A and B are shown apart, each in its own frame.
Chain A
Amino acid sequence: MSDIKKYNDSIIEAFLKKDDKTILRFYEEQWIKVRSVISKMGGNEDQAKDIMQEATTALYINIKKNKYKNRSDVSISTYFVQLCKFRWYDLSKSAHFSKSQSINTNEQLMLMNYEEEYTKQIDLIERNNQLHKTIDLLNQKCKSILLDFYWKKMSMAEIAKTYKMTIESAKNAKYRCMNRLKSLFKSKKAIGNERI
């Protein structure tokens, strides 16, 4: 197995196991490169950070949905920087970034060559951002219960203990919070047809 593939595998595993420490190390390792790429295209540090965060969540979804193809000749870091570039190109077209240095003709043409991939990734990031805004509308307790269950992988017994409830009440609370989130999101979008 090539070193690149081994490295890619280790990062994929970290995302699948929700290994915060390794994910953060990977994130930090990409920073100088991404900052340099965004800076070359007229962006500042804060914009580079936002883009890195969105690209990391896009990478996570691609891994979870088996859409990321692990290639022995392309490092996952290269793929990540590409995601950041896609996002930058998209933002640089929007009104908010109109005063920033726009992309040149060569870059526009390069982008056309990757149009399908580019469009898919941007759709994914946008839809995910919409969902995050909806999660913000939940009360703190609901958010905490759902995050404890889905990210921290706490059992219902642990959640019940944390929130001083019976296991049955904890299960009901989780169910109610999830339904609340679904209906809030549904009121904005028809989630049955959504493909994040």
Chain B
Amino acid sequence: MKEFNEFDAYINDELNESEKKSFEQRLQEDIDFYEAFESHRNIVLGLETYHLKNILKEHKLPSNNKNPKKYGKYIVSAIVLAIAATLIGIALLKKPPQKPPKPAKENNDKNIFALYYETDPGLPSKMGFSKQIVFDKGMIQYKIKNYNRALEHWNALENQNNDTLIYYKAMIDINTGNYSKAYSDLQKLDEKSEFYPKAQWYKLLILLKEKKEQEAKALSKELISSKSNYRLEDIKEIYQRLSKIRE
């Protein structure tokens, strides 16, 4: 039990400097002690994450589920809301008027870009194919977010009008905050390019980032009616959010 308490004291940072030093020295020198401590620490981490997981499970996240089987739940919520609204109405009649609530536009949807943006993970690198090796070297740097090194490789390539190259250089521009340049480069890609649907999606996100909400709305509308299914649900959701902002 003494060892057990000592483990807890170390984990909870309750040992003084000399106790801590001698504990750590023993960890380095005594393999049995080290293994017993590791086992104890793993069990403690298991207990902590067990509780953490329970907290997360109990925390309600907003749902986007449109499953008709769950309408019953909505009806109950609507009844609860109606009762709450009635009670609030009665309370308001009794109280002097408060400050008006901020419009929804101020509270929500201020940064739609951040909600939806995630960087393109890049293409698989097929090391060893000489034709592509320079591009692939750049792609490896891109994946580890070493964008300057990626550009060094890619700028050395002869054909700068290649659609893959244009697209990934634009991705670097987005990741480094050069949104206007990224937008104009993405516009160079035509419908024949396999990157066209993705380029349209990132153009939409750039418009959102630059707070060009009307243009973003027009583009999302255009994309919804296009043949592409790329991020279609997200685009529809963005369109709805933008429509609410306008209201």
Q: Which of B17-25, B62-70, B207-215 contacts A (4 or more CB under 8 A)?
A: B62-70
- Does A166 interact with chain B (Cβ within 8 Å)? no
Q: Considering the complex, give the chain B residue whose CB is closest to the CB of A82.
A: B121
- Does A100 interact with chain B (Cβ within 8 Å)? no
Cβ–Cβ contact B35 & A106, under 8 A: no
Chain B positions within 8 Å of A33 at CB level: 115-116, 118
- Does A31 interact with chain B (Cβ within 8 Å)? yes
Cβ–Cβ contact A151 & B56, under 8 A: no
Q: Which of B47-55, B74-82, B156-164 contacts A (4 or more CB under 8 A)?
A: B47-55
- A153 CA to B48 CA, complexed, in Å: 11
Closest CB in chain B relative to A190 CB, distance in Å: 9
Question: How many A residues have CB within 8 A of the partner chain?
Answer: 57
Cβ–Cβ contact A32 & B52, under 8 A: no
User: Given A73-B145, A113-B143: A196 and B42 within 8 A (CB)?
Assistant: yes
* Residue from A65, A128, A153 having most chain B Cβ neighbours under 10 A: A128
Cβ–Cβ contact B56 & A106, under 8 A: no
**1/0 per position for B73-104, CB-CB distance to A under 8 A?**
00000000000000000000000000000000
Cβ–Cβ contact A57 & B35, under 8 A: no
Q: Considering the complex, give the chain A residue whose CB is closest to the CB of B51.
A: A151
Q: Could you say which of B55, B63, B119 contacts A24, with CB atoms under 8 Å apart?
A: B55
Q: Could you say which of A56, A61, A78, A113 contacts B124, with CB atoms under 8 Å apart?
A: A113
Which A169-187 residues have a C-beta within 8 angstroms of B? Answer: 171, 175, 178, 181-182, 185
User: Given A27-B59, A31-B61: A135 and B42 within 8 A (CB)?
Assistant: no
Chain A positions within 8 Å of B45 at CB level: 60-61, 64-65, 128, 196
Classify the interface of chain A: helix, strand, loop or mixed: helix
Q: Could you say which of B1, B52, B123 contacts A106, with CB atoms under 8 Å apart?
A: B123
Cβ–Cβ contact B42 & A132, under 8 A: no
- A85 CA to B121 CA, complexed, in Å: 12
Q: Could you say which of B52, B65, B116 contacts A45, with CB atoms under 8 Å apart?
A: B65
Chain A positions within 8 Å of B62 at CB level: 31
Cβ–Cβ contact A53 & B53, under 8 A: yes
- Does A194 interact with chain B (Cβ within 8 Å)? yes
Cβ–Cβ contact B49 & A27, under 8 A: no
Cβ–Cβ contact A39 & B61, under 8 A: no
- Does A157 interact with chain B (Cβ within 8 Å)? no
Cβ–Cβ contact A27 & B56, under 8 A: yes
Chain A positions within 8 Å of B233 at CB level: 36, 39
- Does B234 interact with chain A (Cβ within 8 Å)? yes
Q: Considering the complex, give the chain A residue whose CB is closest to the CB of B115.
A: A32
Chain B positions within 8 Å of A61 at CB level: 45, 49
A-B contact list, 19 entries, CB within 8 Å: A24-B59, A32-B116, A52-B56, A57-B49, A60-B45, A60-B48, A60-B52, A64-B48, A73-B145, A81-B118, A113-B125, A128-B49, A132-B49, A132-B53, A146-B47, A178-B4, A181-B43, A182-B39, A193-B35
| Chain A residues at the B interface, C-beta cutoff of 8 Å | 18, 20, 23-24, 27-28, 31-33, 35-37, 39-40, 45, 49, 52-54, 56-57, 60-61, 64-65, 73-74, 78, 81, 106, 109-110, 112-113, 128, 131-132, 134-135, 146-147, 149-151, 153, 171, 175, 178, 181-182, 185, 191-196
Q: Which 7 A-B pairs have the closest CB atoms?
A: A109-B124, A131-B46, A57-B49, A196-B42, A151-B51, A191-B39, A53-B56
